Structure 1
């Protein structure tokens, strides 16, 4: 029985497509269709060898239309499991937050600020380190400048109770100033209300439009605090 080598090559290619479809997760219906195409092609080859009329070209065209190779996702291709949500909250920060929770709840209730927002600010400002001091001289959990702290009645910025109550009151004042627009309040907490006034930023829509005009530190700060707040609320 003489069979054209090119026909053998096409037969082997179609068989390989069937195997690849099975390996790569093709549907059952797709696999059965490919098996049917393979049988049809094989019968055509036998018919060709025995003098029968060949429909090889038509069979291959149908096969190309029916073969379904489903691309694998990156996770499936490399055997990775679906990733879980990775929070920015470390074990240490969660422990510190839990220890300070009664104080934060009290300060939040007194000043009408969401506890999750206060926690997020403390995390971003000092990572819950009550002895933290910035290069600019801001101190304590909520990183109060001496002048700001004194205006809020804080005599010892390293005292957690004084610092959290003072910082939460300051945050509350900013939220009232900007009519509850948290983004602007946070930007002002980091960069100062004066800068917001100079840029004409009074609400979150204006903040979004002019965010690029603020220091990169402030842009990152606002984003970080809002992300942390969502995680504390989860």
Structure 2
């Protein structure tokens, strides 16, 4: 599938200009019409192209999410990916209701959840790490799927899934926060192989974990105290 990059560029220019034509609060009807005409043209062109592999006529070719033909789905996904890159971090308090809800649901202090988000993504809901971890609490795809997260870039799903995972680690390590955080960062398997079960164990063996994890545990605990004091 080939998509004229100039069309994508024009779509983004229209969408992110002052008075976003897709927003409910701004944009003239002419702006909106221009945007939707271009988008329809892009998706129609992509839909008309044959998908790879000569899919059988019985299913009309491969389909992506929402039943879109794969070419159109790929075009739409590419557009959303570029949209996401235009957004930066949110304010730390922007997700307080979601944090409070998840904390109450899974028995995790909101200050700890916010500290994890602070150091995982800097409150950027569209953050993606080099390893592929996504969203506010940086969930890997497999972990997120196991936690029922279908869209890691949805703050509500990501915070719920990440808090549920953190809650499970706190239970596994009998409430030892530092160990749970080490496992959140380095993986529970690595922590278990070192025989770390308590915060006292962690103090004795912290040097055996990656330096990134050593810094992560200290910083998250310090930041938790700051959020708890607010």
TM-score, normalising length: structure 2: 0.61
Pick one of 204, 220, 225 that aligns with 1:230. Answer: 225
1:111 and 2:106 matched: yes
Higher helix fraction (1 or 2): 1
Query: Which residue pairs with 1:158 in the alignment?
Result: 153
Query: Which residue pairs with 2:169 in the alignment?
Result: 174
- Give 5+ residue unaligned stretches, structure 2: 1-87
**C-alpha distance in structure 2 between counterparts of 1:223 and 1:192, whole Å:** 17
Query: Which residue pairs with 2:44 in the alignment?
Result: none
**C-alpha distance in structure 2 between counterparts of 1:149 and 1:173, whole Å:** 14
Query: Which residue pairs with 2:189 in the alignment?
Result: 194
Pick one of 130, 133, 136 that aligns with 1:135. Answer: 130
| Count of residue correspondences | 142
* SS of equivalent residue, structure 2 residue 91: helix
**C-alpha distance in structure 1 between counterparts of 2:220 and 2:112, whole Å:** 8
**C-alpha distance in structure 1 between counterparts of 2:93 and 2:125, whole Å:** 14
* SS of equivalent residue, structure 1 residue 128: coil
Deviation at 1:233, TM superposition (A): 1.0
Deviations 1:94-124 (A, max 9, x none): x722111011000100000000000000000
1:125 and 2:120 matched: yes
**C-alpha distance in structure 2 between counterparts of 1:157 and 1:164, whole Å:** 9
Deviation at 1:231, TM superposition (A): 0.4
1:185 and 2:172 matched: no
**C-alpha distance in structure 1 between counterparts of 2:211 and 2:92, whole Å:** 27
Pick one of 189, 206, 216 that aligns with 2:211. Answer: 216
**C-alpha distance in structure 1 between counterparts of 2:125 and 2:99, whole Å:** 13
Deviation at 1:197, TM superposition (A): 1.0
Deviation at 1:199, TM superposition (A): 0.4
CA radius of gyration, larger in: 1
- Give 5+ residue unaligned stretches, structure 1: 1-91
* SS of equivalent residue, structure 2 residue 192: helix
Alignment of 1:67-86 (within 5 A): none
Relative contact order, higher structure (CA 8 A, sep 6+): 1
**C-alpha distance in structure 2 between counterparts of 1:185 and 1:137, whole Å:** 21
Query: Which residue pairs with 1:74 in the alignment?
Result: none
* SS of equivalent residue, structure 1 residue 139: coil
Deviation at 1:150, TM superposition (A): 0.3
Alignment of 1:37-76 (within 5 A): none
